Amino acid sequence: MADTLGTLLLRAADHPEAGLRFVDRRERANFVSWQTFADQAHEVAASLHELGIAAGDRVALVYGTRPSFFRAFFGILLAGAVPVPLYPPVRLGRLGEYHQRTSLMLRAAGCRAVLAQANVRRLLGETVAAARPALGCHTLEALPTPGRRADAIAPPTDASELALIQFSSGTTSDPKPVALSHRALLAQVRALDDSWRDPDNPPTGVSWLPLYHDMGLIGCILPALELPSVMTLLPPEAFVARPALWLRTLSRYRADISVAPNFAYALCLEKIRDEDLEGVDLAAWRLALCGAEPVSPAVLERFRERFARWGFPPEALTPVYGLSEASLAVTFGDLGKPFAATRWARGPLTQGRAEAAAPEDDAVTLASVGKPLPGFGIRILGPDGAPLPPQRVGRLSVRGPSLMDGYFERADATAAVLQDGWLDTGDLGFIDQHGELYLTGRAKDVLILRGRNHDPAEVEHAASAVPGVRAGCAVAVSTRDDRAATETLVVMVEHDRQARPEQIGSLSDHVAKAVLAATGLAIGTVVILAPGTLPRTSSGKLRRGDALNRYQGGTLTPPGAVNALTVGAAMVRSARAFRRATRAKEPSS
């Protein structure tokens, strides 16, 4: 019998000591074993069959980090259907945008039904009315009573079948449905677990990453299921409000592994006070992986130095690289060794050549994201599609056993990126003489200034470090000024919520000086924005092109006010939309 995600669950159910631990913002814990989830999933699968869900149907899930997500997720899998995790409406001041994007995703994945937690469902009426899933939107509690014995439900065993649709975390306004088979997911999960597998002492982890994001679901949950072991989960909103909760939880449960984007390490530096970590011991945290967005060596070095006082191992920080279309990970830095950061001469790098910088050179410091995982391959291609030699900058192409089958029912988009088993990632970078991968940006986001290419991430890191700027809330774009003969650099930043008016007033000058000092680039325009203004993807990545279009079109505006009145009005609109959608399905007499 071939392994699928469903068979992994049933196998993990034989280990009652393994499962998921849910920790809330008050640090109260609730443990649920894989065995319990398996029992509950059988019940959900039987109810879904009664609802009318058939093998291969896509079912969306809209949940926060809670046990009900996994009841729904595994129930869909045991029913032979395909889960499509979507993000809940967390930015309540942007509900209109949420309804538009989420309805697009429901239609793109061809979802026949939506499962949602009760409080989220009350806001989904307009999304559901726009997408019109054939079997509607339900909570688990409102599913039909099973018409067959739950224990008669058996998981599918064809590993080539579609197992999951996740939406790419790219920064375009057109979210693409990434179709992943059971075989691809299991190849990815085993590649990850083989990196740290210990049969005598299964590693444990802590994650606050959203469950609709590949790094949270595929990178954290599924490896714990495959081992099987224990994964401790925190709500993402709890981490953002109180980053110390992440480190306190790692200490409390002596967890080995945790992964996060660069901004999370920066947020810890900004918001965690020494007194927040009383009694904390981070010595057991041996793998602190960093990926999903550009890595700032300066941030990682500061994190390593700051938290060494609480036992954080200097070799734990490990930059990694992956993308949704490869299920997740492609390259890892050396585990158990301090991460490698190298100074590269800025001038040659802007012209496509990576040359080690002399001490007196103007330089760019980049962190290596490592070498390919076993079974994976990488190459750098030039404009003509031919492979480039080491230390030449070009487009990164990857291959491996966990690549997507394609974009779901998007043959044109699939053909544009998948050829002969190689995936065009859209990322730019180079491979050094030792086979280490360095990234220099996204092809579509590169800053072109005075005929040279620059990575916007370097500008954004410099701007974000300015006091009064929200961590990770800066966008750098280049655009042609009608009054100038060349491109000009525009930097948009959100000010911190606690910033004083006089501090906000001086931010433009401070940002311009910080960027000039760090990169040598003069900013044409600095735009100071209210918190929450910059557009983001569902995974939290800033959408640079969309931000520029909105700025130029005069529609880059802050989110609407959120209070009991506005939320109540949204619920009323949602209820009316649900009624309209229900009436539209009723046959005319």
Q: DSSP secondary-structure letter at 340?
A: P
| 354 close to 348: Cβ distance less than 8 angstroms | yes
pLDDT of residue 547: 85
Confidence (pLDDT) at 588: 46
Per-domain residue ranges of the chain? 5-260, 318-414+421-443, 447-553
Q: Are 336 and 286 in contact (CB under 8 A)?
A: yes
Compute how many other C-beta atoms are within 10 angstroms of the C-beta atom of residue 54.
11
pLDDT of residue 169: 62
Q: What b/e string do you get for 412-431 counting C-beta neighbours within 10 Å, with b at 16 or more?
A: ebbeebbeeebbbbbbbbbb
Cα separation, 345 vs 364, in Å, equals 6
Low-confidence ranges of the chain (pLDDT < 50): 171-172, 588-589
Q: Which residues contact 324 (CB under 8 A, 6 or more apart)?
A: 166, 167, 168, 169, 170, 178, 214, 404
345 bridge partner residues: 363
Question: Percent helix, strand, coil in the chain (nearest 5)?
Answer: 35, 25, 40
Q: How far apart are CA 511 and CA 130, in angstroms?
A: 42
Alpha-carbon distance 108 to 104, whole Å? 6
d(CA 517, CA 477) in angstroms, rounded, equals 18
Closest to 457 (Cα-Cα) out of 322, 366, 362, 329: 366
Please name the residues in contact with 132: beta carbons below 8 A apart, sequence gap of 6 or more.
581, 584
Q: Looking at the chain, how many residues does it have? A: 589
> Is pTM, for the whole model, over 0.85?
yes
Give the fold, CATH level 3, of 5-260.
Rossmann fold (3.40.50)
User: In the CATH scheme, what is the homologous superfamily, with its name and number, of domain 447-553?
Assistant: ANL, C-terminal domain (3.30.300.30)
Tokens of 24: 């809330």
Q: In whole angstroms, what is the distance from residue 48 CA to residue 143 CA?
A: 7
Helix ranges (DSSP H) in 109-212: 118-121, 125-131, 182-196
Name the token pair of 110. 């061809």
Contact 212, 116 (CB under 8 A): no
At residue 152, the pLDDT reads 63
Which pLDDT score is estimated for 171? 45
CATH among 2.30.38.10, 3.40.640.10, 2.60.40.1930, 2.30.30.30 for 318-414+421-443: 2.30.38.10
* Peptide bond before residue 228 is cis, with ω within 30 degrees of 0: yes
d(CA 210, CA 85): 10
How far is 238 from 274, CA to CA, in rounded Å? 19
